[in-house]
C-alpha cells in the first residue's frame, strides 16, 4: 500500500487530476492519499472531491486530510507539491511594480523580476519541506509542480539529499499540438526534448523515424491559422530552427524580442489564438477573478454536485512516475534534474529539463549532449539569472537579487542598470514580510 502526500492539496485542479490518475494503476488503487494544506477551507473541499473520486472508482483507497505537514509526510512513499507562497495581492505587486518601470509581464511565475521574487518567497518553504522529508520519509520521491520550477528545483537539489524532480505538462502538451499540426497520431510520435523548464527544445520530432520539422516548418510559414495559434513560439521556430515548450505568452517574457515595445506586444502578444498569447497579467487576472467573491468555491461546489466523475487516466507525469517508483512499469518522462554532464554546453549542476527514466526507487537521467549553439545561448542567459537568484535566496544577499534581475533578458532590454536597481529595491521592500532569510534589504 503506497502512502502519497499532497502538500498544498488545496490546488483543486492539480490535486483532483493527479489523484484520479494515481488510482487508475493497479498497484496504487489501495493507496493512502494524504491531503495537506494550511487553508482549512480549501482542504475541506478537496477532501470531499477526492472522496468522490475514490467512490466513483470503487477504489479501496484511504483519504486523510490534515493541516500538519509533519503528520502528512510521516512514512510517505511519494510527495507531490503544489504550493503557492503568498496570495494574489503579493503576486500583484510582483507584476505591477515592474510595469510601472516599463517591464510588461504576462504571467511572471517562472522568470523575470516577478519570477525571481516568487522564488525568493517560495524557496525557504520548499527547503523546509525537504528537511521534513529527510526527517519523516527520507526514501520518498518528491515531485514538484510549483513554479518557478527551475529555481526551486535547483535550490532543493543543491542543498538537500531528497530525490527531487520538477514536472511540467508543457512538454507532452506541446508535443500533442505539434503532432496535430503535422497531421499524425500523437501516440506514433517520437521526440527528444531538452533544455530548461519552459524553454526546452524538441531536438528531434519524428513520425515513424521520419523528421517532421520540414512539414511543421511549411505549416507554420504558410498556414495562417497555425501561425496565429502560437505567434511567439512560431517566430522562435522560424528563426532558431527548433520548437520550444510552453505557451507563447510565457515565452514572450523569457527573451528580449517580443515585449520591449508596445508595437511588438500588439503584433505578437495580444492577437494570437492560443490559450495564452501574451496579454499583460493574464494569469494574475484569472486568479484575482477566482478569488473575488470566492468564485473558486462555487466552481468546486458545482463539480461536487455533478453526478458523474470522469476517472479516465490523463497524461500528467506524476502518476506514472509514482507507479514506476513503487515497482510498476518503467516510465520515461521529461523532468527537472541537476545537470551532471547531461547537456554538455549548459552549466554543470544547473537545473535542466531532460528525459528521465523512473523505475523502482530510482530516477535515471538521460545524457543528451550539446544543444545547438543558438539554443544553448538563450538557455545559458536564463540559467545565469536563475543561479544568481537561488544563491541570493540561500545567502540572503540583496545585491545579488539585483544582479540576477539585471541580466534578465526582457528587463535588460527595457531598463538601464540604475532603473533596474531602483525597481528591485522597491520590490525587496514590498516583499519584506516574505523574506526572512534577508537580514538587510538595502542594496547599495
pLDDT tens track for 244-279 = 999 999 999 999 999 999 999 999 999 999 999 999
Tens digits of residue pLDDT in 339-374? 999 999 999 999 999 999 999 999 999 999 999 999
Tens digits of residue pLDDT in 11-25? 988 999 999 999 999
CB 243 within 8 A of CB 216: yes
The Cα–Cα gap between 182 and 210 comes to 12
Q: Give the DSSP letter string of 113-152.
A: HHHHHHHHHHHHHHHHHHHHHHHH-TT-EEEE--SSHHHH
Please list the residue range(s) of the chain that carry CATH number 3.40.50.720.
Answer: 3-86+108-167
Q: Look at residue 439 in the predicted model and tell me its pLDDT.
A: 95
The Cα–Cα gap between 347 and 330 comes to 29
Per-residue cell: 381: 542567459
Q: Look at residue 229 in the predicted model and tell me its pLDDT.
A: 98
CA distances from 335 to 201, 330, 361, 364 (A): 13, 14, 16, 10
Instruction: For the full predicted model, state whether its pTM sits above 0.95.
Output: yes
CATH of domain 87-107+168-280+316-444: 3.90.1820.10
Please list the residue range(s) of the chain that carry CATH number 3.90.1820.10.
Answer: 87-107+168-280+316-444
The partner residues of 189 in beta bridges, in order of sequence, read: 207
Confidence of residue 87 (pLDDT cuts 50, 70, 90): confident
Q: Which of 282, 278, 275 is nearest to 265 (CA)?
A: 278
Question: What residues act catalytically?
Answer: 169, 254
Q: Look at residue 216 in the predicted model and tell me its pLDDT.
A: 98
Q: Look at residue 357 in the predicted model and tell me its pLDDT.
A: 98
CA distances from 333 to 148, 178, 212, 364, 438 (A): 19, 18, 21, 10, 37
Give the contacts of 411 (CB within 8 A, at least 6 positions apart): 98, 103, 112, 113, 405, 420
The Cα–Cα gap between 282 and 384 comes to 26
Q: Look at residue 88 in the predicted model and tell me its pLDDT.
A: 87
What is the chain's mean pLDDT, rounded? 97
The Cα–Cα gap between 325 and 309 comes to 27
Tens digits of residue pLDDT in 190-230? 999 999 999 999 999 999 999 999 999 999 999 999 999 99
CB 31 within 8 A of CB 64: no
Q: Does residue 159 register a pLDDT over 90? A: yes
Confidence of residue 294 (pLDDT cuts 50, 70, 90): confident
3-class state of residue 56 by DSSP: helix
| Residues 241-264: b if buried by 16+ CB within 10 A, e if exposed | ebbbbbbbbbbbbbbebbbbeeee
Q: Does residue 295 register a pLDDT over 90? A: no
Average confidence (pLDDT) over 158-181? 97
DSSP E strand stretches across 82-221: 141-144, 163-166, 189-196, 199-207, 210-211
Burial zone of 68 (CB within 10 Å; 0-12 exposed, 13-18 middle, 19+ buried):
exposed
3-class state of residue 162 by DSSP: coil
Per-residue cell: 383: 540559467
Q: Does residue 293 register a pLDDT over 90? A: no
Q: Which of 56, 391, 76 is nearest to 64 (CA)?
A: 76
Q: Which residue has the cell 527544445?
A: 201
Q: Look at residue 85 in the predicted model and tell me its pLDDT.
A: 87
CA distances from 257 to 251, 254, 378 (A): 10, 9, 12
Average confidence (pLDDT) over 53-82? 98
pLDDT above 70 coverage of the chain, percent: 100
Q: Look at residue 86 in the predicted model and tell me its pLDDT.
A: 81
Q: Look at residue 269 in the predicted model and tell me its pLDDT.
A: 98
Q: Does residue 8 register a pLDDT over 90? A: yes
Q: Which residue has the cell 513560439?
A: 233
Burial zone of 351 (CB within 10 Å; 0-12 exposed, 13-18 middle, 19+ buried):
buried
Confidence of residue 291 (pLDDT cuts 50, 70, 90): confident
Q: Look at residue 307 in the predicted model and tell me its pLDDT.
A: 81
Confidence of residue 423 (pLDDT cuts 50, 70, 90): very high
Tens digits of residue pLDDT in 106-142? 999 999 999 999 999 999 999 999 999 999 999 999 9
Q: Look at residue 12 in the predicted model and tell me its pLDDT.
A: 87
Confidence of residue 433 (pLDDT cuts 50, 70, 90): very high
Q: Which residue has the cell 526582457?
A: 410
Average confidence (pLDDT) over 170-187? 97
Tens digits of residue pLDDT in 380-422? 999 999 999 999 999 999 999 999 999 999 999 999 999 999 9
Q: Which of 239, 64, 248 is nearest to 174 (CA)?
A: 248
Assign a CATH topology to domain 3-86+108-167: Rossmann fold (3.40.50)
CB 214 within 8 A of CB 168: no
Q: Look at residue 66 in the predicted model and tell me its pLDDT.
A: 98
Amino acid at each position: 500500500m503506497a502512502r502519497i502526500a499532497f502538500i498544498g492539496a488545496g490546488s483543486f485542479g492539480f490535486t483532483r487530476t493527479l489523484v484520479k490518475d494515481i488510482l487508475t494503476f493497479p498497484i496504487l488503487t489501495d493507496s493512502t492519499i494524504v491531503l495537506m494544506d494550511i487553508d482549512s477551507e480549501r482542504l475541506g473541499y478537496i477532501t470531499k472531491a477526492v472522496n468522490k473520486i475514490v467512490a466513483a472508482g470503487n477504489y479501496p483507497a484511504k483519504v486523510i486530510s490534515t493541516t500538519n505537514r509533519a503528520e502528512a509526510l510521516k512514512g510517505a512513499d511519494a510527495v507531490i507539491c503544489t504550493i503557492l507562497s503568498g496570495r494574489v495581492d503579493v503576486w500583484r505587486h510582483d507584476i505591477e511594480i515592474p510595469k510601472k518601470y516599463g517591464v510588461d509581464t504576462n504571467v511572471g511565475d517562472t522568470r523575470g523580476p516577478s519570477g525571481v521574487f516568487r522564488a525568493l518567497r517560495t524557496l525557504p518553504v520548499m527547503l523546509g519541506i525537504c528537511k521534513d522529508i529527510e526527517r519523516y520519509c527520507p526514501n520518498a520521491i518528491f515531485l514538484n509542480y510549483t513554479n518557478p520550477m527551475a529555481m526551486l528545483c535547483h535550490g532543493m537539489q543543491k542543498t538537500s539529499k531528497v530525490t527531487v524532480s520538477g514536472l511540467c505538462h508543457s512538454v507532452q502538451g506541446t508535443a500533442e499540438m505539434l503532432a496535430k499540426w503535422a497531421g499524425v497520431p500523437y501516440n506514433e510520435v517520437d521526440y527528444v526534448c531538452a533544455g530548461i523548464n519552459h524553454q526546452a527544445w524538441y531536438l528531434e520530432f519524428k513520425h515513424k523515424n521520419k523528421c517532421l520539422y520540414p512539414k511543421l516548418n511549411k505549416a507554420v510559414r504558410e498556414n495562417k491559422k497555425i501561425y496565429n495559434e502560437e505567434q511567439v513560439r512560431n517566430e522562435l521556430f522560424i528563426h532558431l530552427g527548433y520548437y520550444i515548450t510552453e505557451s507563447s505568452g510565457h515565452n514572450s517574457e523569457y527573451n528580449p524580442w517580443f515585449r520591449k515595445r508596445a508595437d511588438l506586444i500588439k503584433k505578437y502578444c495580444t492577437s494570437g489564438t492560443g490559450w495564452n498569447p501574451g496579454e499583460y497579467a493574464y494569469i494574475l487576472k484569472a486568479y484575482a477573478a477566482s478569488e473575488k467573491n470566492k468564485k473558486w468555491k462555487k466552481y468546486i461546489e458545482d463539480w461536487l454536485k455533478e453526478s458523474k466523475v470522469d476517472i479516465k487516466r490523463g497524461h500528467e507525469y506524476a502518476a506514472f512516475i509514482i507507479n514506476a517508483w513503487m515497482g510498476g512499469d518503467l516510465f520515461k518522462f521529461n523532468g527537472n534534474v541537476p545537470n551532471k554532464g547531461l547537456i554538455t554546453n549548459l552549466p554543470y549542476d544547473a537545473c535542466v529539463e531532460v528525459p528521465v527514466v523512473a523505475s523502482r526507487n530510482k530516477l535515471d537521467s538521460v545524457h543528451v549532449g550539446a544543444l545547438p549553439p543558438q539554443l544553448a545561448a538563450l538557455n545559458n542567459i536564463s540559467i545565469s539569472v536563475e543561479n544568481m537568484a537561488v544563491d541570493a535566496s540561500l545567502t540572503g544577499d540583496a545585491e545579488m537579487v539585483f544582479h540576477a534581475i539585471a541580466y534578465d533578458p526582457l528587463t535588460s532590454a527595457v531598463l538601464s542598470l540604475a532603473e533596474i536597481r531602483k525597481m528591485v529595491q522597491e520590490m525587496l521592500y514590498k516583499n519584506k514580510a516574505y523574506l526572512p532569510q534577508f537580514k538587510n534589504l538595502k542594496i547599495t
